[in-house]
Chains A and B, each alone.
Chain A
């Protein structure tokens, strides 16, 4: 033990950053940590007495000392170094957690900077590299944070501190400032789900208690999302941030500020385009619906946005989009429905005739939704002509019998809804198809003519055909 503590950990052995593939081979649950340290000297902390063993007046002083001791950060990738001291810090942190939970009068003004300093020293760090090309959050085990035994207690302590009855935001705001929040937000990229969970609580408390930081936090989350969507497609904490946003949106005052609407249209909607949508889709859809419940007038831009980004090759995502759309339709106002029904049902008609049966099936389930059915019925003169051709065609052509059966039901429903229109559409189905074909042919001819023209011109330019 003591010999282990005195051997300086060789820098080269401290390697927790090897690529996933290598790590996988060696250990199943991989761990990682990234504390950039150049010194490898053993760490010595002088043990202090327990807080409960000293008289109350001396406790604040001792509390500060303990906080200072806990600023020392240990290297957890080297499992053999500083074992004794690691254990000492762990028990001290435990003691601090209990202390802030039960004690009264400990939070002197001098304690605030020390608490924030201790938390900062422990949690703020550059996250270790992940091989973003190889790492698949759905398939692979996340890399866990090696220093978790300490880190967890630090987070626990910080949350208790923020929640403590004696906690005064007016004093704390000097230390928990924009820079602090920015670093906190960066940590949401941590691969360790346990850490992200704690961060979620911490950020939520900070958002709740520091009114002055709210706008800043929202803006920084904006930036993280925009970077995620348009630059890196890699950020582990999207779901957690959306979860916080869900409750933030819930609390927005009406009428909504332009800033919030912009966030919806320019940030939340584009989030749908990301490859890893499935990891945070539930939270995202929740946020969207929250917005629409606040302000139904936003329905049109939202649905148009979804239609714009509608997935073309990924059926899985298509199913998610359809699910979200149904959630939106559940809360849509009839006046809003009228505004978007045309583009909306053109897309649904494409989904219904998708060769991927899960997509077709998901779209056809809309007809089991009573509210949606009532909306369709009210507007059947618009919806029916859009849907009819696809339904009619797949009722004859779709490979999957379950889909064909569902389509029959839908057709039947339409027939009952508006039998005159239905008969009309059936009668003109053939001639409509022929008209479409003719139009198609005309298009082709047009392009052919245009191309001839271009060809002639280029030949002339090259001097092959004399002018």
Chain B
């Protein structure tokens, strides 16, 4: 420690940076400049050295906390990492006063950040400091006048509780209890949201005696926004309690929440269902949660049904093995069947995103008999999102019954999505193509889907064309270069002669994407000539994309081709009449040089790991990304 402070004293040339100048910076009239200064607060502290940071900077910060919330947010964040700058853990309590003020401001994000920082530095307090400095702060916040400080206090109990004496522990419990029945709902919400966390650090006896009564009270609060937070706490509390206590201590409240009159609370139960299920164990699940889940799946609010539908797979998966199949078949599946024809598309699409997962749980026969009709129905759903969700999860079914069972229905669904009027839908289906191709196999793909993939290349929306090129790359990764050479490359290169310049550019984009996966041979022999020829295109956009492509495929080419074929063309483009073409030609040329120079430096100077490179060289790396540098070195 001593060493550290000596160091700061020795090289922080104090006379150069009078605190007044630095404080002037923090006070600048321009908010943006003030914000910048605050973000560099650590630099200022470093310049001042630990002692003056403690005695001058921190008091200043504590006194002048009236600023834009954005500045305060940055300050709250900075202070969480300030321990070393004030002289290490033995001085960390100096940071408490400014953070305490920040924890009382109105703006939630600032307050939350201050609490986060306080939680962080609480760990750096010794047990003694925690009782002398930290815990009194928590107490002050907990009994603050305005709700903001009480709200902040809620997040601090659990970090100090485990490390203080039993008398202080009793006080902390008392404070928490008080806040749980605070008369502002904001504070009750804060307390409710920290209830689970606090329960975890309490001794089991106190969980039973204190926490349960608080939990029950919060779960029947008059405001639904408080009640729903108790549901979250329910998970932690149930996990902590021994099985035999759950029925009496937790279940009455949970049952009540699942049937709450507010849909928000029921939604929360549905949303946390898997966690609840794990927390209460298999017996209670069988007796209580199964009927509750059925009710949620049939809830009158679509929001609740959708949340429950999302959990169908996970719930079934986690059912006790001995009765899993019976429960699913007799209790869950009938509800699921109804949801397939729900009136609300969000419910259907939530279901579609998980329903396929049931097949692994139920096995082949049940899947074919019961689930397959549902899959097929959803594949024909009027809402594209539902169909997409089914298609995107085909892998689960593939493992159980093989995708062939579905392929007859699959194809029309895919084709329809591929031609959907909404480009986002088309985009989504493109993203699943590689997955589908992998499962359906190369023959099926060539026969049915290849044309679709090529058609996307001339879609009138750029995002689709872009995704289509990326898709081709992934397909080649799956099916290999030879397949590419026979099926894709000729068609792509053919587009180079298309009268529409957008399509000609697509050829270039495809080449950019494909050159690496296709390898040097195909790139040099088939693609490069086409690219070079396009450098004479009459549309400037095409020409500068030639320059970009050459830069991009450069690493795949051998040095001979680079020297004899690429270089002359780039030099020619460098003299183009169009400004942009020139620019990108120069980029391509200089980009290569940089590659080489970095390569050189890396080898010769052996500077060690990249992070340690002197700033000068790193900043001159220009456009090269690290991955490219490395591949250069390997070659």
A residues in contact (CB < 8 Å) with B: 11-15, 17-19, 22, 34, 36-37, 126, 128-129, 179, 182, 223, 226-227, 229-231, 266, 270, 308, 312, 346, 443, 446-447, 449-451, 453-457, 462, 464
Contacts and interface: CB of A to CB of B under 8 A. Distances in A.
Contacts of A312: 31
Contacts of B344: 15, 17-19, 22
A450 B301 contact: no
Contacts of A454: 42-43, 46
Interface of B: 11-12, 16-17, 21, 25, 29, 31, 33, 40, 42-44, 46-47, 68, 106-108, 146-147, 184-186, 189, 222, 224-225, 261-264, 298, 300-303, 338, 342-346, 612, 615
Contact of B261 (A126, A128, A450): A126
Given A230-B107, A456-B11, A37 B300 contact: yes
Given A17-B301, A266-B106, A447-B40, A12 B185 contact: no
A129 B343 contact: no
B298 A12 contact: yes
A36 B343 contact: no
B302 A15 contact: yes
Contact of B106 (A128, A270, A456): A270
Give chain A's interface secondary structure class: helix
A11 B186 contact: no
Contacts of A36: 261, 263, 300
A231 B108 contact: yes
Given A17-B301, A446-B25, A450-B43, A223 B263 contact: no
B300 A17 contact: yes
B263 A126 contact: yes
A374 B612 CA distance: 65
A446 to B, nearest CB: 7
Closest CB pairs A-B (n = 4): A126-B262, A18-B344, A230-B108, A15-B343
Given A129-B263, A308-B68, A346-B29, A12 B303 contact: no
Given A11-B298, A19-B344, A226 B303 contact: no
Given A453-B12, A454-B46, A13 B343 contact: yes
A457 B11 contact: yes
Nearest to A461: B7
A446 B37 CA distance: 11
26 contacts: A15-B302, A15-B343, A17-B302, A22-B344, A22-B345, A34-B263, A34-B301, A36-B261, A126-B261, A126-B263, A129-B263, A129-B301, A129-B302, A179-B222, A223-B185, A226-B147, A226-B184, A227-B225, A229-B106, A270-B106, A346-B29, A450-B17, A450-B40, A450-B44, A451-B43, A453-B12
Nearest to A267: B106
B46 to A, nearest CB: 6
Residue with the greatest number of chain B CB neighbours at <10 A, chosen from A13, A17, A129, A447 = A17
Nearest to A447: B40
Contacts of B43: 447, 450-451, 453-454
A450 B47 contact: yes
A424 B47 CA distance: 41
B425 to A, nearest CB: 14
Contacts of A126: 224, 261-264
Given A15-B302, A17-B302, A266-B146, A443 B12 contact: no
Contacts of B146: 266
A14 B300 contact: yes
B612 A464 contact: yes
B38 to A, nearest CB: 13
A20 to B, nearest CB: 11
Contact of A227 (B107, B185, B263, B342): B185
Contacts of B222: 179, 182
Contacts of B301: 17, 34, 128-129
Nearest to A21: B345
Contacts of B106: 229-230, 266, 270
Most buried by A among B11, B46, B302: B302
A449 B224 CA distance: 55
A128 B261 CA distance: 11
Contact of A18 (B21, B29, B31, B343): B343
Contacts of A446: 17, 21, 25
A12 B16 contact: no
A226 B186 contact: yes
Contacts of A129: 263-264, 301-303
B224 A223 contact: no
A266 B105 CA distance: 10
